Amino acid sequence: MRIALFVTCLGDTIAPGAGRASVAVLERLGHEVVFPEEQTCCGQLHWNSGYQREARRLARRFERLFGGFDAVVSPSSSCVGTLREAFGVRNVYELSELLVGRLGVEDVGASFPRRVAYHSTCHSLRITRVGDAPFRLLGAVRGLELVALPRADECCGFGGTFAVKNPDVSTAMADDKCDAIEASGADVCTALDASCLLQIGGRLARRGSAVQTMHLAEILASEAPA
Amino acid sequence: MTTLRPFPLAARQELRNAQLRTNLRHATDTIRAKRARVVGEAPDWEELRDAAAAIKDDVLARLDRYLEQFADAVEAAGGHVHWAEDAAAANAVVVDVARRHDVTSVVKMKSLTTDEIRLNEALEAAGVEALETDFAELILQLDDDWPSHILVPAIHRNRREIRDLFARTISPGLVSDDPAALAEASRRYLRERFLAARVGVSGANFAVAESGTICVVESEGNGRMCTTLPEVLVSVVGIEKLVPTLADLEVFLQLLPRSSTGERMNPYTSLWTGVRAGDGPQELHVVLLDNGRTRVLGDATGRAALRCIRCSACLNVCPVYTRAGGHAYGSVYPGPIGAILTPQLVGIENASTLPFASSLCGACADVCPVRIDIPAILVHLRAKAVAATRRPGERAVFALVAAAFGGARRLALAHRLGRIAQRPFTRAGRIRSLPGPLAAWTRTRDLDPLAPRSFRDWWRAR
List CB contacts (< 8 A) between A46 and chain B. 398, 401-402
- The count of other CB atoms within 10 Å of the CB of residue A174 is 26
pLDDT of residue B312: 97
Contact A209/B at CB under 8 A: no
Measuring CA to CA, how many Å separate A56 from each of A51, A105, B43, B232? 9, 34, 40, 56
Nearest to A121 by CA among A142, A96, A90: A96
Look at residues B410, B406, B320, B315 and name the one whose alpha carbon lies nearest to residue B356. Answer: B320
Q: Is B409 helix (H, G, I), strand (E, B) or coil?
A: helix
Q: Is the pLDDT of residue A93 over 80?
A: yes
Phi/psi of residue A114, nearest 5 degrees:
-135, 165
Task: Answer yes or no: are the C-beta atoms of B89 and B117 closer than 8 Å.
Answer: no
What's residue A177's pLDDT? 98
Model pLDDT for residues B257-284, shown as the tens digit of each residue: 999 999 999 999 999 999 999 999 999 9
Can you tell me the mean pLDDT for B426-434?
96
Q: Is the pLDDT of residue B72 over 80?
A: yes
Residue B1 is predicted with a pLDDT of 58
How many CB atoms within 10 Å of residue B362? Answer: 22
Q: How far away is chain A from the Cα of B326, in angstroms, using its nearest Cα?
A: 13
Beta strands in chain A (DSSP E): 2-5, 32-34, 72-74, 92-94, 115-118, 145-147, 188-191, 212-215
Q: Which residues contact B278 (CB under 8 A, 6 or more apart)?
A: none
pLDDT at B423: 97
Q: pLDDT averaged over chain A?
A: 97
Strand order in the sheet with A2-5: A32-34, A2-5, A72-74, A92-94
Contact A188, A107 (CB under 8 A): no
How far off is chain A from B403, nearest CA to CA, in Å? 9
Amino acid (one-letter) located at B345: L
Q: How far is A161 from chain B (nearest CA, A)?
A: 8
Contact assignment for B405 to A58 by CB distance below 8 Å: yes
Give the N- to C-terminal CA distance of chain B in Å, as an integer. Answer: 61
Distance, in Å, from the CA atom of B290 to the CA atom of A48, rounded to the nearest integer, reads 30
pLDDT over 70 (residue B396) = yes
pLDDT digits (tens, 9 = 90+) for B13-51: 999 988 888 888 999 999 999 999 999 999 999 999 999
User: For residues B405 and A57, is the Cβ–Cβ distance under 8 A?
Assistant: no
Cβ distance A126 to B357 less than 8 Å, yes or no, reads no
Percent of chain B that is helix, strand, coil (3-state, to 5):
55, 10, 35
All residues of chain B having their beta carbon less than 8 Å from the beta carbon of residue A168 are 8, 11-12, 15
pLDDT at residue A102 greater than cutoff 90: yes
The verdict on A173 touching B (C-beta cutoff 8 Å) is yes
H or E element at residue A202: helix A194-206
Cβ neighbours of residue B39 closer than 8 Å, sequence gap 6 or more:
B45, B258, B259
Instruction: Give the helix, strand, coil percentages of chain A, each rounded to 5.
Output: 50, 15, 40
pLDDT at A225 over 80: no
* Minimal CA separation from A153 to chain B, in Å: 9
Instruction: Give the C-alpha separation, B255 to B238, whole Å.
Output: 20
| Residue A170: burial class (beta carbons within 10 Å; 0-12, 13-18, 19+) | buried
Single-letter residue type at B295: R
Residues of B in contact with A37 (CB under 8 A): 408, 456, 459-460
Q: Would you call A16 and B453 a contact, using CB atoms and an 8 Å cutoff?
A: yes
- ipTM confidence: 0.97
Our measurement of the distance from residue B228's CA atom to the centroid of its chain's CA atoms, rounded to an integer in Å, reads 27
pLDDT digits over B170-186, tens only? 999 999 999 999 999 99
- Contact between B307 and B372 under an 8 Å Cβ cutoff? The reply is yes
How close does chain A come to B279, measured CA to CA in Å?
51
- pTM as predicted: 0.96
Cβ within 8 Å, pair A202-B445: yes
B55: Cβ–Cβ under 8 A, 6 or more apart, which residues?
B243, B244, B248, B251, B252
Grade residue B156 by pLDDT with cuts at 50, 70 and 90: confident
User: B46 in contact with A at a CB cutoff of 8 Å?
Assistant: no
Nearest-by-CA chain A residue for B321: A169
In angstroms, the CA A81 to CA A196 distance is 14
Euclidean distance between CA atoms A121 and A124, whole angstroms: 5
CA angle A38, A40, A41 (to 5 degrees): 145
The average pLDDT across B301-307 equals 98
Q: What does the alpha-carbon distance between residue B35 and residue B41 come to, in Å, rounded to a whole number? A: 10
- Residue B407 to residue A40, Cβ atoms within 8 A: yes
B250 contacts: CB under 8 Å, gap ≥ 6: none
Interface test with B, best of A7, A38, A39, A40 (most B CBs within 10 A): A40
Collapsing DSSP states into helix, strand and coil, what is residue B285?
strand
By C-alpha distance, which of A76, A74, A144 is closest to A110?
A: A144
Tell the burial category of B45 from Cβ atoms under 10 Å away from its Cβ (0-12, 13-18, 19+).
middle
Q: What is the pLDDT of residue A226?
A: 60
List all residues 6 or more positions away from B97 whose beta carbon is below 8 Å from its beta carbon: B199, B232, B234, B285
The alpha carbon of residue B112 is apart from the nearest alpha carbon of chain A, in Å, by: 26
3-state secondary structure of B46: helix
pLDDT digit string, tens, across residues B205-256: 999 999 999 999 999 999 999 999 999 999 999 999 999 999 999 999 999 9
Q: Nearest to residue B303, comparing CAs of B46, B57, B43, B48?
A: B57
Residue type, A80: V
Cβ pair B12:A168 closer than 8 A: yes
> What does the pLDDT look like over A149-179, one tens digit per residue?
999 999 999 999 999 999 999 999 999 999 9
User: d(Cα B75, Cα B273) in Å, to the nearest integer?
Assistant: 10
**Among candidates B179, B147, B160, which has minimal Cα distance to B315?**
B147
CA B132/CA B147 separation, integer angstroms: 12
